[in-house]
Structure 1
């Protein structure tokens, strides 16, 4: 999941590349586990970056 070589690169930034199965044409039952993986990874990024902490 990402834009590969087409994205601009900014020094000092992280660019995680998430290899995910493409659910196109596979139906809802195939898409749900992929959705759950994305949700888990986003929650981990939020926690890693300290978002949601009270000041």
Structure 2
């Protein structure tokens, strides 16, 4: 991996080149609020679903 912001899932953990692991705490929400709403351009409004909270590197 070339970057600290790239994470690879090996089947057990997601980890970057500095061995920093990410988990569900690094996302605001893992639960989508369905049905999705759309903005005036038709784009999906994701809200907090999968909103990334980066770990300290």
Provide the TM-score with structure 1 as the length reference. 0.31
More helix by share: 1
Provide the TM-score with structure 2 as the length reference. 0.31
More strand by share: 2
Larger RCO: Structure 1 or Structure 2 (Cα < 8 Å, ≥ 6 residues apart)?
Answer: 2
